[in-house]
Amino acid sequence: MSLTGSIVVFVILWWLILFLILPRNISSQENEGYITEGTDPGAPSNPKIVKKLILTTAITTILFAIIYFLNYFDILNIRKILT
């Protein structure tokens, strides 16, 4: 896998994992009982975005390492599968 291909796989995997993690452990302002003026009551009261970004990066790094080593040792080779 080339450097460019590795970066593309990592970024796509990172965004996919981020969108899977974002809706986890969300409590709305309405559920908390405090609605900020001018916002939607269903908006999250504390999205904990930094924690989710760190978790996303950790999970993506582990999954990317697995994919990279499977590709490096020719266990997972798309070119062989397609031909």
Model confidence pLDDT, tens digit, residues 52-75: 999 999 999 999 999 999 988 888
Give the mean pLDDT of 6-10.
95
pLDDT at 30 over 80: yes
Distance separating alpha carbons of residues 32 and 38, to the nearest angstrom? 16
Percent composition of the chain: helix, strand, coil (DSSP 3-state, to 5): 65, 0, 35
pLDDT for res 62: 98
In this prediction the pTM is 0.82
Give the mean pLDDT of 22-50.
88
Sign of the CA dihedral running 11, 12, 15, 18: negative
Distance separating alpha carbons of residues 64 and 71, to the nearest angstrom? 10
pLDDT at 81 over 80: no
56: number of Cβ within 10 Å: 20
pLDDT for res 36: 85
pLDDT for res 46: 87
Tokens of 58: 């950790």
